[in-house]
Amino acid sequence: MRISRTPRWIWQLAIGCAVLIGPHALATTSMQVVDQQGKPLADAVVELIGSAADSSQAPKGTMTQQGLMFVPFVLAVQAGTAVEFPNLDKTRHHVYSFSEAKVFELKLYAGKPEKPVLFDKPGIVVLGCNIHDHMQAFVYVGTSPYLAVSDEQGQVTFAKAPAGTVKVRVWHPWQQATLPEQQLELQDKMAALVLPITAQEKPKPPKRGFGQSY
Protein backbone atom coordinates (compact mmCIF):
# COMPACT_ATOMS: atom_id res chain seq x y z
CA MET A 1 0.00 0.00 0.00
CA ARG A 2 1.35 3.39 -0.95
CA ILE A 3 1.16 5.85 1.92
CA SER A 4 0.66 9.56 1.21
CA ARG A 5 0.14 12.53 3.49
CA THR A 6 -3.47 11.62 4.07
CA PRO A 7 -4.92 12.22 7.56
CA ARG A 8 -4.68 9.09 9.70
CA TRP A 9 -8.43 8.57 10.06
CA ILE A 10 -8.80 8.35 6.29
CA TRP A 11 -6.36 5.44 6.15
CA GLN A 12 -8.29 3.81 8.94
CA LEU A 13 -11.36 4.21 6.76
CA ALA A 14 -9.59 2.73 3.75
CA ILE A 15 -8.33 -0.31 5.62
CA GLY A 16 -11.62 -0.85 7.37
CA CYS A 17 -13.61 -0.85 4.14
CA ALA A 18 -11.14 -2.83 2.06
CA VAL A 19 -12.33 -6.11 3.57
CA LEU A 20 -15.64 -5.56 1.76
CA ILE A 21 -14.14 -5.54 -1.71
CA GLY A 22 -12.61 -8.51 -3.48
CA PRO A 23 -11.79 -9.63 -7.00
CA HIS A 24 -15.34 -11.00 -7.30
CA ALA A 25 -18.69 -9.92 -5.91
CA LEU A 26 -19.06 -11.16 -2.33
CA ALA A 27 -21.93 -12.56 -0.33
CA THR A 28 -22.94 -10.98 2.99
CA THR A 29 -20.11 -8.86 4.42
CA SER A 30 -20.01 -6.68 7.52
CA MET A 31 -17.82 -4.31 9.51
CA GLN A 32 -18.08 -2.14 12.61
CA VAL A 33 -18.15 1.67 12.72
CA VAL A 34 -16.74 3.34 15.84
CA ASP A 35 -16.24 6.94 16.94
CA GLN A 36 -12.92 8.54 17.83
CA GLN A 37 -13.19 7.12 21.36
CA GLY A 38 -13.60 3.63 19.95
CA LYS A 39 -17.28 3.36 20.92
CA PRO A 40 -19.82 1.82 18.51
CA LEU A 41 -21.34 4.51 16.31
CA ALA A 42 -24.93 4.15 15.15
CA ASP A 43 -26.54 5.96 12.19
CA ALA A 44 -23.42 6.14 10.01
CA VAL A 45 -24.10 5.73 6.28
CA VAL A 46 -21.54 3.80 4.23
CA GLU A 47 -21.92 3.93 0.45
CA LEU A 48 -19.88 1.80 -1.94
CA ILE A 49 -19.49 3.15 -5.47
CA GLY A 50 -18.67 0.26 -7.78
CA SER A 51 -20.19 -2.11 -10.28
CA ALA A 52 -23.81 -1.47 -11.17
CA ALA A 53 -26.41 -3.62 -9.44
CA ASP A 54 -29.71 -4.89 -10.78
CA SER A 55 -32.05 -1.90 -10.89
CA SER A 56 -34.88 -3.54 -12.86
CA GLN A 57 -37.25 -2.89 -9.97
CA ALA A 58 -37.86 0.60 -8.58
CA PRO A 59 -36.47 0.72 -5.03
CA LYS A 60 -38.74 1.60 -2.11
CA GLY A 61 -38.17 2.92 1.41
CA THR A 62 -40.17 3.70 4.56
CA MET A 63 -39.89 6.53 7.11
CA THR A 64 -42.41 5.86 9.87
CA GLN A 65 -43.80 8.25 12.46
CA GLN A 66 -44.30 6.41 15.73
CA GLY A 67 -44.19 7.54 19.35
CA LEU A 68 -43.85 11.16 18.14
CA MET A 69 -40.58 10.23 16.45
CA PHE A 70 -39.32 9.47 12.96
CA VAL A 71 -38.21 5.85 12.61
CA PRO A 72 -35.48 5.32 11.56
CA PHE A 73 -33.42 8.36 12.59
CA VAL A 74 -31.31 7.90 9.42
CA LEU A 75 -32.62 6.32 6.23
CA ALA A 76 -30.29 5.65 3.28
CA VAL A 77 -31.80 5.23 -0.20
CA GLN A 78 -30.58 5.33 -3.77
CA ALA A 79 -31.68 8.26 -5.93
CA GLY A 80 -34.94 7.33 -7.61
CA THR A 81 -36.39 5.68 -4.51
CA ALA A 82 -40.03 6.24 -3.55
CA VAL A 83 -40.36 6.57 0.25
CA GLU A 84 -43.57 5.96 2.20
CA PHE A 85 -44.33 8.08 5.30
CA PRO A 86 -46.88 6.10 7.35
CA ASN A 87 -48.14 7.73 10.55
CA LEU A 88 -48.76 5.11 13.26
CA ASP A 89 -49.55 7.69 15.97
CA LYS A 90 -53.03 8.71 17.07
CA THR A 91 -52.05 12.36 16.60
CA ARG A 92 -51.58 13.82 13.13
CA HIS A 93 -48.22 14.94 11.74
CA HIS A 94 -47.14 17.55 9.17
CA VAL A 95 -43.91 16.32 7.57
CA TYR A 96 -41.69 18.67 5.57
CA SER A 97 -38.20 19.32 4.24
CA PHE A 98 -36.56 22.47 2.90
CA SER A 99 -33.35 20.67 1.94
CA GLU A 100 -31.90 21.35 -1.51
CA ALA A 101 -31.91 17.65 -2.37
CA LYS A 102 -35.69 17.44 -1.78
CA VAL A 103 -38.22 20.12 -0.91
CA PHE A 104 -41.62 18.65 -0.05
CA GLU A 105 -44.53 18.85 2.36
CA LEU A 106 -47.03 16.30 3.62
CA LYS A 107 -49.69 18.43 5.24
CA LEU A 108 -51.41 17.44 8.48
CA TYR A 109 -52.40 13.78 8.12
CA ALA A 110 -52.99 10.48 9.87
CA GLY A 111 -52.47 6.98 8.50
CA LYS A 112 -50.70 6.69 5.17
CA PRO A 113 -50.36 9.47 2.58
CA GLU A 114 -51.93 8.73 -0.79
CA LYS A 115 -48.59 8.77 -2.62
CA PRO A 116 -44.98 8.12 -1.57
CA VAL A 117 -42.35 10.84 -1.91
CA LEU A 118 -39.85 10.35 -4.73
CA PHE A 119 -36.24 11.14 -3.74
CA ASP A 120 -34.71 11.68 -7.16
CA LYS A 121 -31.67 13.86 -6.36
CA PRO A 122 -28.57 12.79 -4.38
CA GLY A 123 -27.91 14.68 -1.15
CA ILE A 124 -28.90 14.96 2.49
CA VAL A 125 -32.56 15.60 3.28
CA VAL A 126 -33.42 16.88 6.76
CA LEU A 127 -36.94 16.02 7.91
CA GLY A 128 -39.08 17.88 10.40
CA CYS A 129 -42.67 18.09 11.66
CA ASN A 130 -44.54 21.40 11.83
CA ILE A 131 -46.54 20.14 14.80
CA HIS A 132 -43.76 18.57 16.88
CA ASP A 133 -40.52 20.57 16.89
CA HIS A 134 -38.47 17.80 18.51
CA MET A 135 -39.07 15.43 15.59
CA GLN A 136 -36.05 15.23 13.30
CA ALA A 137 -34.62 12.64 10.93
CA PHE A 138 -32.36 12.40 7.89
CA VAL A 139 -32.64 10.77 4.48
CA TYR A 140 -29.29 10.12 2.80
CA VAL A 141 -29.91 9.91 -0.94
CA GLY A 142 -26.98 8.19 -2.62
CA THR A 143 -26.02 7.41 -6.19
CA SER A 144 -25.21 3.74 -5.52
CA PRO A 145 -27.41 0.78 -4.62
CA TYR A 146 -24.72 -0.29 -2.12
CA LEU A 147 -25.88 1.60 0.97
CA ALA A 148 -25.97 0.59 4.62
CA VAL A 149 -26.63 2.35 7.94
CA SER A 150 -24.83 1.23 11.10
CA ASP A 151 -26.97 -0.13 13.93
CA GLU A 152 -26.65 0.54 17.68
CA GLN A 153 -23.63 -1.80 17.81
CA GLY A 154 -22.01 0.09 14.93
CA GLN A 155 -22.51 -2.86 12.60
CA VAL A 156 -22.81 -2.27 8.85
CA THR A 157 -23.84 -5.14 6.60
CA PHE A 158 -23.95 -5.46 2.82
CA ALA A 159 -25.84 -8.36 1.26
CA LYS A 160 -23.44 -8.08 -1.69
CA ALA A 161 -20.38 -5.96 -2.42
CA PRO A 162 -19.20 -4.77 -5.85
CA ALA A 163 -16.08 -6.29 -7.35
CA GLY A 164 -12.85 -4.49 -8.23
CA THR A 165 -11.95 -0.92 -7.42
CA VAL A 166 -14.61 1.13 -5.65
CA LYS A 167 -15.06 4.50 -4.03
CA VAL A 168 -16.27 4.71 -0.44
CA ARG A 169 -18.41 7.54 0.89
CA VAL A 170 -19.25 7.92 4.58
CA TRP A 171 -21.71 10.31 6.22
CA HIS A 172 -22.98 10.83 9.75
CA PRO A 173 -25.43 13.42 11.17
CA TRP A 174 -22.88 14.61 13.75
CA GLN A 175 -19.91 15.15 11.42
CA GLN A 176 -18.49 18.68 11.35
CA ALA A 177 -17.12 18.54 7.80
CA THR A 178 -17.46 16.46 4.65
CA LEU A 179 -15.55 13.17 4.91
CA PRO A 180 -13.41 12.71 1.77
CA GLU A 181 -14.12 9.84 -0.61
CA GLN A 182 -11.53 7.10 -0.95
CA GLN A 183 -10.77 4.83 -3.91
CA LEU A 184 -10.01 1.33 -2.72
CA GLU A 185 -9.00 -2.17 -3.70
CA LEU A 186 -8.74 -5.21 -1.46
CA GLN A 187 -5.34 -5.09 0.24
CA ASP A 188 -5.62 -5.33 4.01
CA LYS A 189 -8.18 -6.24 6.63
CA MET A 190 -9.29 -4.34 9.71
CA ALA A 191 -12.26 -4.93 11.99
CA ALA A 192 -13.27 -1.32 12.67
CA LEU A 193 -14.03 1.80 10.64
CA VAL A 194 -12.98 4.79 12.78
CA LEU A 195 -14.69 8.15 12.19
CA PRO A 196 -13.57 11.51 13.69
CA ILE A 197 -16.94 11.95 15.38
CA THR A 198 -18.21 12.15 18.94
CA ALA A 199 -21.71 10.76 19.22
CA GLN A 200 -24.43 13.06 20.50
CA GLU A 201 -27.80 12.37 22.03
CA LYS A 202 -30.61 11.88 19.56
CA PRO A 203 -33.87 13.82 19.81
CA LYS A 204 -36.36 12.33 22.28
CA PRO A 205 -40.15 12.56 22.44
CA PRO A 206 -41.69 14.60 25.29
CA LYS A 207 -42.63 12.67 28.41
CA ARG A 208 -46.21 11.49 28.47
CA GLY A 209 -48.51 12.48 31.29
CA PHE A 210 -50.61 9.93 33.14
CA GLY A 211 -53.16 8.40 30.77
CA GLN A 212 -51.76 10.16 27.70
CA SER A 213 -50.95 8.31 24.52
CA TYR A 214 -49.41 9.21 21.20
Domain that holds residue 24: 8-42+153-194
Question: Same domain, yes or no, for 70 and 95?
Answer: yes
Rounded-to-integer distance, Cα 82 and Cα 98, Å: 18
Note whether residue 203 is domain-resident. no
Give the sheet arrangement for strand 155-158, strand by strand.
155-158, 29-34, 192-194
Q: How many domains does the chain have?
A: 2
Rounded-to-integer distance, Cα 214 and Cα 209, Å: 11
Q: CATH code at 80?
A: 2.60.40.420
Note whether residue 205 is domain-resident. no
Question: Same domain, yes or no, for 106 and 164?
Answer: no
Q: What are 143-152's pLDDT values in tens digits?
A: 998 899 999 9
Note whether residue 210 is domain-resident. no
Q: What is the pTM of this model?
A: 0.83
Note whether residue 89 is domain-resident. yes
Q: What are 109-163's pLDDT values in tens digits?
A: 999 998 999 999 999 999 999 999 999 999 999 999 889 999 999 998 877 766 6
Question: Same domain, yes or no, for 74 and 126?
Answer: yes
Question: Same domain, yes or no, for 132 and 163?
Answer: no
